[in-house]
Structures are given as structure tokens and as C-alpha cells.
Amino acid sequence: MDEQILVTRSSMPPYEEYIEAIKPLWDTHWLTNMGVYHSELEEKLKGYLDVPELSLMVNGHMALEMTIQAFGFPEGSEVITTPFTFISTTHAIVRNHLKPVFCDVKEEDGTIDETKIEDLITERTVAILPVHVYGNVCNVEAIERIANKYDLRVIYDAAHAFSVAYKGKGIGNYGDASIFSFHATKVFNTIEGGAVTFREPRIYDKLYNLKNFGIRGEEIVSDVGANAKMNEFCAIMGLLNLKRTDYAIQERKKRYDYYTQCLEDVEGLRFLRQKGVATDNYAYLPVLVGEGYGRTRDELYDILRENGIYTRKYFYPLTSDQACFKNKFKKMNLKTARKLANEVMVLPLYEDLAMESVSKICGIIRANG
């Protein structure tokens, strides 16, 4: 079999650069507990993301779980969210002893359908948790109007939206808080990591307590917390990768554009991407394999795999349909979300993906359409 082409590949700085950058750790032996590199990365990310407040976390999931916890919602309260997302989004709600209420999504971009949110609000609703899926930006204005009308919190899962700006503002400025993932597969990574952005400065102290056992001094534990701190090795990786993120996005765009040029006229194939709404980070390349194409999504997935090309059915099944959640929560009409889940395929995309590989992938897709 030819060389395998994976759906993604981690961005990394030159080996020598990282080794040189971590050398000081052998002098200080300060490896974690909010060291100098942790603090430096927090400040640099605030500037890059254009946000007033930011708290680093060990990963994106804990960023979301602890952000929900920081707002102190009563146990059993309801959170309106989307089922068309990575399972982490739903887990974070449930692990906070809250109930997810699943709202359908929009067919054009996969984001939560804001026109259907109000019908799901009850006296138990405390928050809306939308997802900027694939970096496609939710209708933040409409969601804000609904939240203000019903006095609800808005927490955005922006795990896919690093570096995205909307109307000249970093996407992390919208809602009461937004969370980002810096997992190895993301546009910007710290190996493992995440962050929370927010407007209210008091949230920083609450998140600090939650991620550091509530320790506020050598003999003072002021709150019940966990351990979700980012270590210094990850922070250094983040500092180095941040310097090359713009380059990585530019390279991803070249490959994205090549895909679209090759595939935009294929009948039954549609790119699930917003146009002109916000800046794009080219984090993912989702296409819908629908009616009119010569194969089903699953058939094309298998054909590509047989040729050493590893795509993802991302997201299939819906989180609401996963074994751990089936029949546990209120039944909702999720017709559009299920349609997207049955048709979506994420194609390989990363900064050093060979153009010859893109050409090969497109050739196979065209030949089977």
C-alpha cells in the first residue's frame, strides 16, 4: 500500500528550537504550577486572540467543564446545546450534573439553529452552549438577544475557532465565556491544552481555584477544586507554535483552495463552510456527500481508506445518539443534524500536506462521483 494520508498532522516547531527552549527547565526544575512560560503564554494568547481575559487549562475539555462549573448553575438545570459536535461538549454538561437539551442545526453551516432555541427554553433553562463547528461562527447576535431576553448565560465551545475573528473582534469576545482547545490536532496546539476567554475579571479567580485545588496560599484552600493546570513543557510548545500559526493557516488555505478548485463542480458534493461571515482558520475541510453523488458517504469513506486515505465521519453519530446518552434525555426533532451526520466527511488538511496527495484524493473522489 502507498504511504498513508491521515486526516490531520500536528504542527510542530523545528526539533532544535524546542530543545533549546526547554533547556532552562533543567536549571529551575519548575515544571508546572503556573510557571513563567505559563504566564507568558497567557499574555501572548490574550493579545493574539484579542480578548480581555484568558485562563490556560490542561486541555479543552477541562476548560469547558470548569467554565460551566464556575457559573454555579443549580444541579438539574437545563443547558440548550447542539448534538452536532464532539462528545466532549455534551460530557461537560452532564458531568456538571446538568441536562443537555439538544437543538437542531442549520443545514448550510452546521451551527446551532438560533430560530429554534426559544421553543426549548423552560423555567429550568440556565444557559445556551453553542459550538462554532469547524470554525463556522454561530449567529452570535441572535443568541445574545435570546440570552438577554430570558436572562441566560452563553458559553461558546470555540474549540474549532482559534484565531477566527467576527466583525473585527476575536471570536472569544462573544458570550459570557468561550473555550478553546489546543489539542495536538488543532490549528494551534500546545501538545495538550486549552483556554477559557471571558469578560468578567472575577471569573479568573474562580477558574484559578477550580484548576488548582482551590489553593490560594501555603496554608489556605479557599475553594473545592481539581487539577487542570498546563505544564511548562506544553506552554513552551505553545509559545513556539504561536509564532508560526499565521504561516500554518496560510498553508492550510492553499490546500483548501486546491480542494475546492478540484471538487466544486462534483455533483452531490458540497463544502460545509460559511462564506464572508468571519475570518477562516482552515482548521477542517468538511464536505457533504449527498444525493447526486455516485456513492454514499460510507462507501466513499471505505474507498478512500482502501487507498490509504484516512478521512473522518466528523460528527457521526450525533452526541445525542451515542450509547452513553441514548434515551436519557428529552427527545427532540434533530432532522437536519442527523442529515449532516449521515453525509459529512472531513478530508485530510494540514500545513505540510503534499499537493500531490490533495490531487490524489480529489482524483479518487471525482472518479467515484
| Residues contacting residue 200 through CB under 8 Å, at least 6 positions apart | 53, 176
Instruction: Report if residue 97 sits inside a domain.
Output: yes
Answer yes or no: do 196 and 233 share one domain: yes
Percent of the chain with pLDDT over 70: 99
> Considering the domain boundaries, does residue 10 fall inside one?
no
- For the whole prediction, is pTM greater than 0.85? yes
Tell me which long-range contacts 286-292 makes (C-beta under 8 A, separation of at least 24): 286/110, 286/134, 286/314, 286/344, 286/345, 286/346, 286/347, 287/263, 287/344, 287/345, 287/346, 287/347, 288/340, 288/343, 288/344, 288/345, 289/343, 289/344, 289/345, 290/343, 292/267, 292/268
Q: Provide the domain limits for residue 191.
A: 15-243
pLDDT tens digits, 337-366: 999 999 999 999 999 999 999 999 999 999
The set of residues, in sequence order, having a beta carbon less than 8 Å from that of 126 and lying 6+ positions away, is: 71, 73, 74, 77, 78, 79, 98, 152, 153
pLDDT at residue 178 greater than cutoff 60: yes
Let me know if residue 9 belongs to a domain. Answer: no
Is residue 93 predicted with pLDDT exceeding 60?
yes
Task: Report the pLDDT averaged over residues 84-89.
Answer: 98
Q: In this structure, is residue 305 part of a structural domain?
A: yes
The number of residues in the chain equals 369
Q: Residue-wise over 285-300: b if at least 16 C-beta within 10 A, else e? A: bbbbbbeebeeebeeb
Regarding whether 270 and 356 lie in a shared domain, the answer is: yes
- For residues 67 and 205, membership in a common domain is answered with yes
252 & 239 share domain: no
Q: Domain total for the chain? A: 2
pLDDT band of 2, cuts 50, 70, 90: low
Instruction: Estimate the crossing angle of helix 60-70 against helix 87-94, to 10 degrees.
Output: 30
> Taking 90 as the threshold, does the pLDDT of residue 133 lie above it?
yes
* Same structural domain, 159 and 307: no
Do residues 68 and 202 both lie within one domain? yes
Digit-coded pLDDT (tens) for 213-234: 999 988 899 989 999 999 999 9
- Domain identity same for 97 and 237: yes
Preceding omega of 317 cis (within 30 degrees of 0): yes
pLDDT for the residue numbered 276: 83
- Report the distance separating Cα 68 and Cα 79, nearest Å: 10
CA 331, distance to chain mean position in Å, is 25
Mean per-residue pLDDT over the chain, rounded:
96
294 and 321 assigned to the same domain = yes
Residues 275 and 182 in one domain: no
- List the CATH number of the domain containing 272: 3.90.1150.10
What pLDDT was estimated at residue 328? 82
User: Which CATH number belongs to the domain containing residue 239 in this structure?
Assistant: 3.40.640.10
